[in-house]
Structure 1
Amino acid sequence: MNEDKIKGQWKQLAGKLKTKWGKLTENDLKVAEGDREYLAGKVQERYGIAKEEAKKQVEEFGRKL
């Protein structure tokens, strides 16, 4: 899914993101608002995984949409 579409549908996507990564806070999602780099950083931080793994998970999530 491209960046413009993600930003346009962010509220709907935030629910799906919260389902996938329940440790993300509402504030994390509000600040991320379509920013994949920020989102990957928060996934990395909240789940204690490597940066590349977090980026991979976020990219895979985006492709499935």
Structure 2
Amino acid sequence: KTGKPVGADVKKGFPFLVGLEKAEKLAGDEKNKAIAALSGFDAKADILREIAAYAVRRNK
């Protein structure tokens, strides 16, 4: 028999450790902090704001 067992590379992520609801809240909080940190920048920073929002709303 060669190779690793099926599922051997599956890692327990942050939602597994703290629960999905709390992980989603923490992600939203961090997104808001990131966007607030960009408040002193003009529209040139919009792509960074969009990336922060995307990172929280993406499914995979």
Alignment TM-score, normalising by the size of structure 2: 0.33
Structure of larger gyration radius: 2
User: Quick check: which one's helix share is greater?
Assistant: 1
TM-score by length of 1: 0.32
